Amino acid sequence: MNTVKILTLALMPIIFSVAGLRAEEVSLWQLTQLHKAGQQAYYKSDYPTVLEKWEQGLKLARQGKHQGAISMFISNLGVVYTNLSQDSKALDYLKQALVIHQEIGDKRAKAANLTNIGTVYSKLGQYNQALDSYQQALAIHQELGDKRGVCADLTNIGVVSYNLGQYNQGLESSQQALAIAKKIGDKRGIEYNLTNIGLVYSKLGQYNPGLESSQQALAIAKEISDKRGIRNNLTNIGSVYSNLGQYPKALDYFKQALAIAKEIGDKRGVGENLTNIGSVYSNLGQYPKALDYFKQALAIAKEIGD
């Protein structure tokens, strides 16, 4: 399943009253500059610089006892540590921020942190905890009337439900998210949910609606130039055709997916599609070809430690 990349930075504006600041207190200007420097580095994936700037910002914010800035820097550092796969550290930061957001009554930031906490739990395979966090975030986003947040949380609930084997619940959540994504014109959200709906239908053996959803998702992925989404849906469509015994079509889609996976440097995707192609050739009785693809897939798996 495609999980929405919901690890959005808590880029809330630092708004404090400058009046009455003493010379020894932290200035708004210093906090803003450190925040901006970290933000620019984040979008370049320069995480060492991000950590340096935001740790400095956090230290200064603590010196000045600016709770809003403290929670913002802690939240953002949690996101960075998640991207660095330091999940325990990420959870620690995000939970610290959650406490502060609760104390200062910042519901929007609280919801963002709950969503991010859910995403970390999902990465760790702790799906029940992830589901609980997403449901709490969903309740707040619904209260705030934040349709984009509601859409993201329903999407993630759909993914977690799928991973828990709760396919009907996953399908229902994904369909709700899809309806909202269409209403607000969120094409990436539409693509993700169509992809996930296609996977659920296929898992349930309902290949025709699964194929239709995956083809719609593929069209949108191409429209918005989401190459990873294109690769995912080409693979999913190939899998449906393979399950239907339409092996020439399956091969065509798997080979297209393989080419894109190589283009974007997606080694796991390369290995997955090499395996799929090998399986199709095996089903066709072309065993030497199948063996060749399986050997290539094995080499990739060893390389990435899969």
Does 11 score more than 50 pLDDT? Answer: no
Long-range contacts (CB closer than 8 Å, 24 or more residues apart) made by 133-142 = 134/160, 137/111, 137/112, 140/107, 140/108, 140/110, 140/111, 140/114, 141/111
For residues 35-57, give the mean pLDDT.
90
Model confidence band, residue 27 (pLDDT cutoffs 50, 70, 90): confident
Mean pLDDT of the chain: 89
For residues 192-198, give the mean pLDDT.
94
Same fold, 1-15+25-185 and 217-306: yes
- Compare 30 and 135 and report the one with higher pLDDT: 135
Rounded to two decimals, the pTM is 0.80
In the chain, the amino acid numbered 299 is: A
Does 293 score more than 50 pLDDT? Answer: yes
The dotted CATH code for 1-15+25-185 is 1.25.40.10
- Compare 233 and 305 and report the one with higher pLDDT: 233
Q: Domain ranges for the chain, please list them.
A: 1-15+25-185, 217-306
What is the architecture of the domain spanning 217-306? Alpha Horseshoe (1.25)
Does 19 score more than 70 pLDDT? Answer: no
Does 288 score more than 50 pLDDT? Answer: yes
Q: How far apart are CA 70 and CA 93, in angstroms?
A: 11
Least confident of 14-23, 52-61, 68-77, 136-145: 14-23
For residue 158, what pLDDT is reported? 94
Does 123 score more than 50 pLDDT? Answer: yes
Local structure of residue 23 (DSSP, 8 states): T
